[in-house]
Amino acid sequence: MKFLSFFLAIEKENRDGTISHNSALFFFFTAALAILIPTPGRLAFGFVMIIAFNLQIIISILFSRLLVLLKIETLKDVLLLLEIVFTTILFKQLLVLTCPIAALTLGFVLYLSAFSTPLMDILYKTPSTSLKAEFRAKMPNAISFSVVALIFFALRDILGYGTLTYIAHKEVVFVKLPYANNEFSAFTFFATIPGAFLLLALIMAAYLFISEQCIRIKRSRR
Amino acid sequence: MLNKKLLHSLRNYGIFFGIVSGFVVLLIVAILLVRSSWHTGLSSVVQNTLNESYPDTYTVDKPIAIPSAFSTSMAAFSLIPSTESPKAYYGIILRATSLAGAVPVVFLCEKNDAAAESPFTVSFAGYAIPTGKAKNIFEKNISIKSLQYWEKQIVTILGTLKTEEAL
């Protein structure tokens, strides 16, 4: 329930009863366009991007804690940048090992994610006093984003391509959905890049609507 | 005698270079370890795509080293045709752009005679991943233009290979 309340916290209620936008989360989503738009609209590739994204955040949190322990905070920014690049290249090598076709298809997109949200969320956020507090402060945003991103990729895959895809050993498996035929439909538009922008806008609008309703329900209970 | 400040700086930069060296060593090891996996995995994808477009016509053979920056986004393999042919054939897989974003594409290359105008004839063999009901999007003008660009580019890339043995 606590997670859900954060998940729907695009709008928050102020002490005086007015509603204001949670700008940090909006900023987070805008920055995350680098992950959502250039990635091919298949669930399998989206899943890989989400794993890479979360891995970058977790390793960056652990690494920044290590730098605090080593007492070299002065070089923290440079080292964190290097660590993010290192993690991304290493992740790509792991992808080559497990699923080369996904590594080929995603290519430079993996690097775009490294220089979007994690940088803003980790480098420019004040570090917490403990590792636990650091994870608590940074992971909810990452989890929220991951859930929305997976819904986004699943919708593009199902509506746009009429398939459901997942990563298996050395291959990407394509499951053709029973209702989907090879004929063109209006939903196929969601497979394209302009369609991805439109779908993202629709998801954001749905988000706003649901969060607004939640706040109204809360108010009426009081 | 080294003063405290200098010792502190030396310690910091020592750790810095230690971490950077660790990163570099780990990456070199990882890249060397997965190199064969890249070619093995992609050769089976090329084989499957060729089988769909040209059933029982070509068998994927050895990988070809591409001496250009494109080597990270493409792979080339020599092909053995099922019927004897004096010509050499190659299968190329690369990441192309389309209206739906990046997509892996397989091209079939045929080496021409020395007298021919172009050293290679390149043709589109198919998309390496199923396009589902979005098939018509991949046949749109913007996607086709991208394929035409790569057909020309592949001739240039294969032309940079220095010797016949390299092919």
DSSP string, A21-33: E-HHHHHHHHHTH
Rounded to 5°, the CA angle A90-A95-A98 comes to 130
B20 vs A: CB within 8 A: yes
Contact B20, A82 (CB under 8 A): yes
Q: How confident is the model at residue B133 (pLDDT cuts 50, 70, 90)?
A: confident
Residue, of B100 and A11, whose pLDDT is higher: B100
Residue, of B70 and B146, whose pLDDT is higher: B146
Contacts of A170 in chain B (CB under 8 A): 41, 44
B135 vs A: CB within 8 A: yes
In degrees to the nearest 10, what's the CA dihedral of B8, B11, B17, B20?
-90
At residue B126, the 3 state secondary structure works out as strand
pLDDT cut 90: percent of chain B above it = 39
* Interface probe, candidates A75, A95, A104, chain B, greatest B C-beta count within 10 A: A104
Q: Which helix (H) or strand (E) holds B125?
A: strand B120-127
- The strand pairing partners of A92, in sequence order, are none
pTM score: 0.84
Residue of A nearest to B40 (CA): A100
Judging by beta carbons within 10 Å of its beta carbon (0-12, 13-18, 19+), is residue A194 exposed, middle or buried? exposed
Per-residue model confidence as pLDDT tens digits over B19-64 = 999 999 999 999 898 888 889 999 999 999 999 999 989 999 989 8
Contacts of A29 (CB under 8 A, 6+ apart): A145, A148, A204
CA A211 from centre of chain: 19
Alpha-carbon torsion A133, A137, A140, A142, what sign?
A: negative
A103 vs B: CB within 8 A: yes
For tokens 């009863």, the residue is A17
Per-residue model confidence as pLDDT tens digits over B35-45 = 888 899 999 99
Q: Count CB atoms within 10 A of the CB of residue A148.
A: 18
Residue, of A78 and B141, whose pLDDT is higher: A78
B41 vs A: CB within 8 A: yes
pLDDT given at position A102: 94
Residue of B nearest to A108 (CA): B73
pLDDT given at position A5: 46
Q: What is the ipTM of this complex?
A: 0.87
Structure tokens at A218: 């809360």
CA A175 from centre of chain: 24
Residue of B nearest to A190 (CA): B100
pLDDT given at position B49: 94
- CA A171 to chain B, closest CA, distance in angstroms equals 8
Within 144-173 of A, beta carbons closer than 8 Å to B belong to 160-163, 170-172
pLDDT given at position B164: 47
**Which among A103, A180, A192 has the least Cβ separation from residue B99?**
A192
- CA B75 to chain A, closest CA, distance in angstroms equals 9
- The answer to whether the CB atoms of A41 and B100 lie below 8 A apart is yes
Phi, psi of B45 (to 5 degrees): -65, -45
- The answer to whether the CB atoms of A162 and B132 lie below 8 A apart is yes
A175 vs B: CB within 8 A: no
pLDDT given at position A142: 80
Task: Tell whether the model's pLDDT for residue B84 goes beyond 80.
Answer: yes
Judging by beta carbons within 10 Å of its beta carbon (0-12, 13-18, 19+), is residue A13 exposed, middle or buried? middle
pLDDT by residue, tens only, chain A of 222 residues: 344 444 445 455 555 555 555 555 666 666 667 788 889 999 999 999 999 988 888 898 888 888 888 888 788 888 888 898 899 999 999 999 999 999 999 988 888 877 765 556 666 666 667 888 888 877 887 888 888 889 999 999 999 998 999 998 888 899 888 776 666 678 889 999 999 999 988 888 887 788 788 888 888 887
Q: How confident is the model at residue B165 (pLDDT cuts 50, 70, 90)?
A: very low
pLDDT given at position A25: 60
- The answer to whether the CB atoms of A82 and B27 lie below 8 A apart is no
